[in-house]
């Protein structure tokens, strides 16, 4: 197993709400826009008044109520760096500039059941793109990443329960070809395989503070990446990854909050093969353990070492009734 410790500090969450929507507010002290009984859709039942009072838009455990459409638009800039080694020899260091715009839409089928889809578009530049093989290439990668479809069921909810418990199932298809840039050609940011998994979130929400623990298990299917630098491909076997996390949000005033958390992730060992073919304002600091690829020929073995990165970004949240 390869463990990764990811320390995340998220600050200054800004939630902007459309004026015509009866949207829930990110403000800790202000009453939600749905607090008036007369403003609630009758289909949600009398208990919706209490539910609306506990659902704060910026909250990490937020779910839209029945009939509401939720959206989140986020931009992040990642600046990872590290060293590439091949057959035990350092083939050079790499620095990167990874830009990603993520769009999420969610819909409340019920007060306790939400479906969502997330799609991203990225533009990445780095001086050594083929970290999987250790080949030193220069170039960029851009395009859409593979979308993720998920459904969340709220097993326990406040105020009837002292805690909130969410259960989420997710799936991401192999929608786009994975290509590593090289040979004067740009690559893509697609994964090259399917993923699916399940996650849990258990937490407590108060007017000005949220604390939550998370756990996830993800199955990453076989992946295939075309290496544009030399006209070959690399493939990797399927494996499971596991993630444990802890997050908090402190809400200071209208539209301002401070998020802090820590995550621990592992990825199982899997085989990699070369295939011959004739292919919010947010900040986080990521620190990864060494990633080793072991091939049938020892001379192809690679390592990505000293892999760290800074990530900054902004996020816009909105909800419509």
The secondary structure of residue 39, as a DSSP letter, is G
Nearest alpha carbon to residue 53 among 70, 72, 36: 36
Top pLDDT among 229 and 263 is at 263
**Average pLDDT in the 125-148 region?**
71
Query: Highest mean pLDDT: which of 82-91, 92-101, 131-140?
Result: 92-101
Q: What is the mean pLDDT of residues 166-185?
A: 90
Rounded to the nearest integer, the mean pLDDT of the chain is 76
Band of residue 313 on the pLDDT scale cut at 50, 70, 90: confident
Residues of the chain with pLDDT > 70: what percent?
66
Q: Is the pLDDT of residue 4 over 60?
A: no
**What's the whole-number mean pLDDT along residues 275-289?**
56
Instruction: Specify the range with the lowest mean pLDDT, choosing from 36-45, 165-174, 185-194.
Output: 36-45
Least confident segment among 66-80, 102-116, 149-163, 257-271: 257-271
Q: Is 278 exposed, middle or buried (0-12, 13-18, 19+ CB in 10 A)?
A: exposed
Q: Is 219 exposed, middle or buried (0-12, 13-18, 19+ CB in 10 A)?
A: middle
51-74, pLDDT tens digit by residue?
A: 766 788 889 999 999 999 999 999
Q: Which residues have a Cβ under 8 Å from the Cβ of 49 and sit 6 or more positions away? A: 34, 35, 37, 40
- Could you tell me the pLDDT band of residue 3, with boundaries at 50, 70 and 90? very low
Check whether 294 has a pLDDT greater than 80.
no
> H-helix or E-strand containing 53?
helix 48-54
Q: How confident is the model at residue 153 (pLDDT cuts 50, 70, 90)?
A: very high
297 CB contacts (<8 Å, ≥6 apart)? none
Q: Would you place residue 42 in the very low, low, confident or very high pLDDT band (cuts 50, 70, 90)?
A: very low
Q: Where are the alpha helices (DSSP H) in 160-257?
A: none
Separation between Cα atoms, residue 42 and residue 48, nearest integer Å: 9
Least reliable range by pLDDT among 209-213, 235-239, 279-283: 279-283
Domain ranges of the chain: 2-320
Q: 179 vs 134, which has greater pLDDT?
A: 179
User: Is it the case that residue 287 has pLDDT exceeding 50?
Assistant: yes
User: Coil, helix or strand for 44?
Assistant: helix
Residue 245 has pLDDT above 90, yes or no: yes
Q: What pLDDT is attached to residue 24?
A: 36
- Is the model's pLDDT at 283 over the cut of 70? no
């Amino acid at each position: 197993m390869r463990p990764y410790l990811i320390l995340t500090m998220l600050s200054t969450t800004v939630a902007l709400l459309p004026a015509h929507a009866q949207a829930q507010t990110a403000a800790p002290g202000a009453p939600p826009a749905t607090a008036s009984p007369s403003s609630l859709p009758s289909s949600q039942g009398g208990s919706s008044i209490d539910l609306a009072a506990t659902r704060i838009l910026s909250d990490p455990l937020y779910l839209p109520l029945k009939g509401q459409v939720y959206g989140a638009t986020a931009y992040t800039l990642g600046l990872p760096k590290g060293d590439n080694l091949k057959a035990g020899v350092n083939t050079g260091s790499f620095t990167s500039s990874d830009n990603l715009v993520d769009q999420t839409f969610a819909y409340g089928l019920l007060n306790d059941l939400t479906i969502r889809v997330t799609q991203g578009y990225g533009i990445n530049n780095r001086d050594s793109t083929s970290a999987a093989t250790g080949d030193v290439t220069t170039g960029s990668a851009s395009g859409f990443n593979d979308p993720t479809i998920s459904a969340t069921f709220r097993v326990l909810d406040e105020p009837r329960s002292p805690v909130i418990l969410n259960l989420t199932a997710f799936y991401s298809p192999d929608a786009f070809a994975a290509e590593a840039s090289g040979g004067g050609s740009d690559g893509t940011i697609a994964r090259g395989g399917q993923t699916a998994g399940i996650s849990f979130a258990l937490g407590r929400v108060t007017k000005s503070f949220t604390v939550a623990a998370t756990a996830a298990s993800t199955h990453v299917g076989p992946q295939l990446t075309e290496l544009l630098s030399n006209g070959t491909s690399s493939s990797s076997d399927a494996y499971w990854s596991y993630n444990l996390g802890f997050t908090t949000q402190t809400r200071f005033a209208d539209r301002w909050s401070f998020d802090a958390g820590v995550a621990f992730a592992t990825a199982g060992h899997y085989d990699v093969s070369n295939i011959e073919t004739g292919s919010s304002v947010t900040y986080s600091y990521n620190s990864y353990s060494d990633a080793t690829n072991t091939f049938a020929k020892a001379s192809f073995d690679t390592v990505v070492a000293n892999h760290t990165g800074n990530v900054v970004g902004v996020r816009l949240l909105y909800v419509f009734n």
